[in-house]
Structure 1
Amino acid sequence: MSRTTDNNSVEQPWGWLVTAAAFTVHILSLGFSWSTGVLNAIFLDTFDDPALDISWVGTLLFANMLSSGVVAAVFINKYGCRVTTIVGGILASSGLVLSFFSPNIYFLYFSLGVVSGIGGGFSFLASVTMVTHYFDKRRSIALGITSSGVGFGQFLFPALIRWLYQSYDWSGVLLILGGVLLNTCAFGAIFRPMELPKTIGMNDDAKEEERQQQGLHCAVFQNPGYVCMCLNNILVCMGLATIYIHLPAYGESLGIDGNKSAMLMSAVGLANLLARSLIGVVDHYLTNRTFHIYAITFVLTGISVMLMPVTSNYLMQMVFAVMFGLFSGGFGALLSLILAQIVGLRHFATAYGYILLFEALGTLSGGPLAGFLYDITQMYDASLYVSGSCLILSATLVIVPYRQSCRATDGLQIQVMEEIMPMNRYKPEVS
């Protein structure tokens, strides 16, 4: 079966507008979420609670954003990406507004960590799913552009948060950010639903499979490559969470000014922005190298993290932050491509929803562990070494899905291709 082109292709001009909207949704959802390390440093200066207790705010935000992917997948399969994104935007904004009234750090667990976290997860998964289904031949480029919104958000939000903090207290900052994140709804409205094949003419087995798409099922866990990617994501998020939650506080622990420490996070975001777009383009032209690029980037990411404790010099810390941002860009740019390849597009939303649950497990482990080690040692060195080790180890788990993808004659791979090709015929609704 050949790929469809011209008028029957899903790669219509509207798809690039969808990509631009998804890019912005990534800025507002993941870009903000991955910048909460700046808020973590502010909370450390504001509250008298231990670093471990305070770190749970950002950790719960990440964890709920990721773990909500399972529920978000059900919403996507039943109501579509547009509705799911708008619901996510409302929840994310509402959580930040509620945080304005927070009397202590523990209320922020619920308002910022749970409500805003779930909202961000809904918007994120819906935007990734929408772009993945809109593109075929240029999918890696479109997803690279989309995921680079995370880097742009990481560059934008730390500076914005510190600037707002000069004029308002922490609660006023959160209230303003609540208004900013409400814009997610406007961009989600651009996600025109896809016209999916109906059950007319299907046999009973096909109709039953179609009904299963409206909910969740565990068939993806019969795929060994997918299981390895779940384990890979646990280790990756254990390593990433340490940096995203604690990097500004780590900079301040070295005696670096708070504004300069926030710039470390902005440097990560800017480098990540460039890397995700570049990696998407490189993967488009380097055929069958997705798994190689993905694994290599995490070895290099781990090395950059383990180099941080070597010196307290601010310029060198900035260099390591840029290295981290560049190499970790492979995560957002390539994960969707790998999942689409090993499970097929028909199961993509469900597979991504489940894998976000494993990412939440990694985040729940990595962030608090780093705070716990700091409370014991009053230094972040041990946390950074553990983080780097997890990132390097995660690269070894890519071997199984890579070898599976190479067996083009394997029955599972044939099934995946049969699922992918019909999905390429889906086109946007005209109305």
Structure 2
Amino acid sequence: MTGLGFALASLPALTMIGRYFKKRRSLANGLSRSGGGATFFLAPILQLLVDSYGWQGCLFVIAGLELHLIACALLFRPLRLKEELQFNSSKTLEMHRQSVNPHPNDQPNPEPGSQNGFKPTNIVARRAISGKERVKALQKEVEKRVQEYGVTESLIVDHFPRIEPVYEPKKKRTLDFSLLKNPLWAVITANLVLTQFGYSITLVHLVARAKLMDIGQYKAAMLLSLIGLSEVIAQLSSGALADKGYIRRIHLHKIYITVMAIATACGLFANSFETMMIYCVAFGCGSGSWQGNILPVTVDTLGIRQLRSAYGFCLFFSGLCGQLIGPPVAGALYDATKSYTSSFVLALVCFIVSSLLLWLEIPANAYMRKKEEDNDNTKTKKTNGVVQEILMQEMHEMA
């Protein structure tokens, strides 16, 4: 029940950060996740509470702290983004036609020998001739754009300032299962599962491995605190760096996972408390930067409109296939070999493979672009002739 409650509380908060922040999204996400480092420093405080009030009293104090999440949730406000709106060409032109000609039968009859209610003169005739030439040129351009792209928002804004565009909210689902067929989502999720697999192995078995090196229990637990502190600093600094835009976030993702892989490879040769400290600090810098970059990479790759479903599915599969399975598998390897070397080698392999998987984002992105272009072409062929007729009429009136 506790795990379900934390999941229901954390996921909406993280997705709200992705929706509310754009320019400094990475830094905002790093700040929100930096509290996770405090987990490693809560152990002595919780022990003090247990000694003072018993374990029941300690849980009551924790429950009181968690109730403050309600105050935070009351501050959330819904936000409608432009990415969640779509331009409706049919309604745009229909509403414009109704506003221009609300009652076609009520229009006054023009006087004999006049055009649109005005008597022609030589100046008007000459302007009409030049106007016809402009209309023909504009008509060709508009027809070409309609054939290629359909009636788009930019077409209306560029050529028909009198027409007010109409927008509608895009249809959305609580859980968009179509993402499971999206190759971009598959790449991001596979990367997250493998990285989480290796990361969970490191956190769960690090202390036990240190004890086998005759490092005392206090010092062994201190190694986790070093990772937590390094992660907090890395999340804040890497978030500020990512927002500068010098390097794409997905490339930074590769770099951060590579740092974790290098640290794990060097950690295989660590045999003292000092060398383990260096390994933990380096690993914490890589893992903290990686954690702070997961949400921004998901937004960049799959878009803000699908963030809730995409991020939710990513965390579900990474928790189920990575965090839940990783430590038992590593424990089974230790039972078979009586050494944690093979377990941490497995973590290293996961980091390497997950980093290489991100290069599949390039062909997956190309595939999705081609698919969207094919869908757009299909919609363009179904463009209603009445829509083009209204546009042509509007051009004649403007001329």
Q: Fold-level match, TM-score > 0.5?
A: yes
CA distance in 2 between counterparts of 1:275 and 1:365 reads: 27
In the alignment, residue 121 of structure 1 is paired with which amino acid? A
TM-score by length of 2: 0.65
Moved more, 379-388 or 251-260: 251-260
The equivalent of 2:16 in structure 1 is 130
* Residue among 342, 349, 363 paired with 2:301: 342
Q: Which residue of 2 aligns with 1:153?
A: 38
Q: For residue 72 of structure 2, what is the aligned residue in structure 1?
A: 188
User: 2 CA distance for matches of 1:135 and 1:148?
Assistant: 17
Whole-angstrom distance in 1 between the partners of 2:61 and 2:327: 23
Q: Gapped runs of 5+ residues in structure 2?
A: 92-166, 376-399
Aligned to 1:31: none
8 Å CA contact retained: 1:130, 1:191: no
Q: How big is the shift at 1:359?
A: 0.4
Alpha carbons of 1:174 and 1:249: their partners in 2 closer, same or farther (altered >3 Å)?
farther
Kindly report which structure 2 residues correspond to 1:7-46, keeping only aligned pairs within 5 A, or say none: none
Local SS of the residue matching 1:136: coil
Q: What's the counterpart of residue 241 of structure 1?
A: 200
1:128 deviates by: 0.9
Query: How many angstroms does 1:175 deviate by?
Result: 3.0
Q: 1:300 aligns with which of 228, 243, 259?
A: 259
Q: CA offset at residue 123 of structure 1? A: 2.2
Gap runs ≥5 in structure 1: 1-114, 416-431
Q: Give the percent of matched residue pairs that are identical in Structure 1 and Structure 2.
A: 24
Which whole-Å CA distance do the structure 2 matches of 1:273 and 1:333 have between them?
9
1:93 maps to none
- C-alpha distance in 2 between matches for 1:377 and 1:386: 13
Q: Is the contact between residue 273 and residue 329 of structure 1 (CA under 8 Å) also seen in structure 2?
A: yes
CA distance in 2, matches of 1:372, 1:169: 38
What's the CA shift for 1:177? Answer: 7.2
CA distance in 1, matches of 2:365, 2:31: 25
Superposed, 1:91-130 pairs within 5 Å as 115-130=1-16
Give the equivalent residue in structure 2 for 1:262.
Answer: 221
CA distance in 2, matches of 1:303, 1:411: 38
Q: Distance in 1 between matches of 2:221 and 2:191?
A: 29
> 2 CA distance for matches of 1:251 and 1:177?
33
| Cα displacement (A) at 1:310 | 1.5
* Matched residue, 2:30: 144
**Cα 1:413–1:225, aligned 2, differ >3 Å: closer, same or farther?**
farther
Change (3 A) 1:199 1:294: closer
Q: What is the aligned partner in structure 1 of residue 59 from structure 2?
A: 175
Q: Does the 8 A contact of 2:267 with 2:276 survive in 1?
A: yes
Measure, in 2, the Cα distance between the counterparts of 1:240 and 1:217.
28
How far has the Cα of 1:382 moved from its partner?
1.3
Provide the secondary structure at the position in 1 that maps to 2:306: helix
Q: Alignment partner for residue 313 of structure 2, among 354, 366, 369?
A: 354
What corresponds to 1:367 in structure 2?
327
Contact preservation (8 Å) 2:85, 2:170: no
Q: Which amino acid aligns with 2:295?
A: S
